[in-house]
Structure 1
């Protein structure tokens, strides 16, 4: 089933401060909207990407994402007075383009959405039918107050969740719900899931990600962006991984599926390149290793795509106010040949880590037919990550 992404970037973002809409402010030298679009553009399952922008923001939009040369990114659609209006107008534009399938609705104010979460949204709507949204358990105690400001209720938090985007829907059902709400004069829905609930549709949930932050207040930008250079210290981490060959017809290297006469023996997809890079970042953070966060004893990681691990480690850097400067990777094997896939691997790593391609280096070598790699018993990867973190007093 075709999948479209609708990125909502029409808000003014007044609570965030600054001189203009928050989706055009810079984080790490790139506009927030550019960050938000990148992982959707990297998802091959998405056939169409539409952005809803504010009235008069055409020049800002072109300056932010005009460099993107991807035929799936359509011309922007002007939004409305509210988020609900903007989503409806974006859906109508997709309908006029003849789209029918599933749609992911995402707020541009969440620029750290990961490729893994987008993949989970696509998988969830495929499995659950009408609507599925990412949700996180609530850790704070929640109170409901009355009109006088007094506590009226303390609901049990084990049944409460906070929700994020991207939210996934069957396109026809979401468009019909928006049209019905518009005809009824209802415009107070804060997200599309609430509108679908009003329309009588069941809404499923799937795990969200703590790193998928929404930029709302000025301090959110301080946490998301890099501090002044003088307050950052350089850290370097290294990573190493190895996997033995077994029966199969492909291997995963750096997020790229490469045809081969063998597979690898692993709990996840066995991507030695991404495993080594993940350990290098976690090492620079002094936050354990890949097995600490994704233990092979946990069945949820069986067959998991390893770009999820690298995205997690990269987000940990950003959560601590840091930045990734460079990722350097060496792959050791007699076969398959890495050279023909080098640029695709660099691109996949850059997307998963949320950095530029020129911040990723790939080298490949053999072990001159010595050792286990020389005997074609497996393959290995060594990685170095250079990051900067705020200096601790």
Structure 2
């Protein structure tokens, strides 16, 4: 019985995304709680078990890419090989990815744009089948609009027939040795300006087959594209869960407290086995509650000496990993601190920013409030601080009753 072909994957993510605007390349912009590239990689990993996966990144983006790795589900992150460093053009970046895989000698390779976050399993299966049969292939979508060719004065010179036109997407798929040889030859002969890999194969003398693409497999180019992509991702994650958390720590002698990941000078400290960050503890429990996965004490028991004095971000990051392992999205965090002192107002925005950084969401999705208990109870007597938190998590709908 013949063995199935070894299929590798290259994801090109070295571009600057200038048309989107802003300082952050579009593949690293937050979209539904995670960098856009995360959604692309998760979708591809779910579509096929590739023998090798190489992400091509810009040399300036290693720190950004590390954040992507941290935001992926553990299974997806484990499937990725070391990133390759891209070149000045897309052609050069693809060649870098191909060279990184050359020693593994895959039979077929799929080449995909990092800013296309919706490659479906059927689309990937069609790409693999087309490459195996034709050697060079690309997905294409039929045009619904009439196309006009114009001159320098914007006057129409031709109206091509839509029947013979396709809007080409990725993943494009090839026999590995074919596309590697084509890219190497184009680089050797200094041929530039070929806008996709099918064009490289065509320049090298190999015609590409166009198979059925997917109208939903859109590329994020503009800010409106990013907004639409986020709305679609939230709609896909239709199982909305809300968890709540509550934590209390008493004051002891000291000169600072940790709240929301921020060090706040104070005349006392909070007592606890870790750094006693009552806000991060409550948020952690809220997230764990939303996914029905115990509480902070179950995962990090205070009897374990390794957590003595630990930074509470460790607990929150673990909760986030558990959410992402379920392909979940954190939609919102809200925390209310109850204390007479210290004053929370001057540190509110720093706390929101820090929580957003740890969770990996936009700061607009984090609320931090504070109140007193009108001098009632232990908080009113200045004996400690309490925090109530809620977390909204969206999970993929699995059809349970």
Distance of 2:327 and 2:105 partners within structure 1: 29
Matched, 1:205 2:210: yes
Instruction: Answer whether contact 1:26 1:32 (CA < 8 A) is retained.
Output: yes
In 2, the alpha carbon distance for the partners of 1:193 and 1:15 equals 24
Match of 1:221 among 223, 226, 246: 226
Partner of 1:359: 395
Residue-by-residue CA offset, 1:26-81 (whole Å, 9 max, x unaligned): 11101111100112222444111100001110110010123545543111111011
What residue in structure 2 maps to residue 187 of structure 1? 192
The residue that corresponds to 2:57 in the other structure is: 53
> Match of 2:12, SS?
strand
Q: Show the counterpart of 1:113.
A: 119
- Pairs within 5 Å for 1:1-393: 1-66=5-70, 67=72, 68-69=74-75, 70-95=77-102, 97-128=103-134, 130-226=135-231, 318=232, 322=235, 324-326=237-239, 359=395, 383=400
| TM-score, with structure 2 as normaliser | 0.58
- SS of the aligned residue for 2:79 comes to coil
Q: Is the 8 A contact 2:143 2:162 kept in 1?
A: yes
- Distance in 1 (alpha carbons) for counterparts of 2:129 and 2:89: 29
1:84–1:360 Cα change, 3 Å: closer
Per the normalisation by structure 1, the TM-score is 0.59
Contact map agreement 2:20 2:223 (CA 8 A) in 1: yes
* Contact 1:33–1:65, Cα closer than 8 Å, also in 2: no
Superposed CA deviations along residues 304-358 of structure 1, whole A, max 9, x for unmatched, are xxxxxxxxxxxxxx29x84533189xxxxxxxxxxxxxxxxxxxxx99x975698
2: CA distance, partners of 1:101 / 1:327: 42
Which residue pairs with 1:262 in the alignment?
none
| Secondary structure in structure 2 of the residue aligned to 1:215 | coil
**Structure 2 CA distance, aligned partners of 1:358 and 1:206?**
34
- Could you say if the C-alpha distance between residues 327 and 99 of structure 1 is closer, same or farther in structure 2, counting changes exceeding 3 Å? farther
* Counterparts of 1:50 and 1:112, CA distance in 2: 18
3-state SS of the aligned residue for 1:165?
coil
What is residue 390 of structure 2 aligned with on the other side?
Answer: none
Q: Tell me the alpha carbon deviations over residues 105-126 of structure 1, each in whole angstroms, 9 at most, x when there is no partner.
A: 0000101111221122112212
Q: Distance in 2 between matches of 1:44 and 1:105?
A: 13
Could you list the runs of 5+ residues in structure 2 that have no partner in the other structure? 242-322, 330-392
Which whole-Å CA distance do the structure 1 matches of 2:207 and 2:95 have between them?
Answer: 20
For the 8 Å contact 1:27–1:224, the answer to whether it is kept is yes
TM-superposed deviation, 1:139: 0.9
SS at 2:163 equivalent: helix
SS at match of 2:237: strand
Larger Cα Rg: Structure 1 or Structure 2?
2
Structure 1 stretches lacking a partner, 5+ long: 227-317, 329-349, 363-381, 385-393
* Distance in 2, Cα, partners of 1:358 & 1:14: 31
The number of residue pairs the alignment matches comes to 249
- Offset of 1:100 from its aligned partner? 2.8
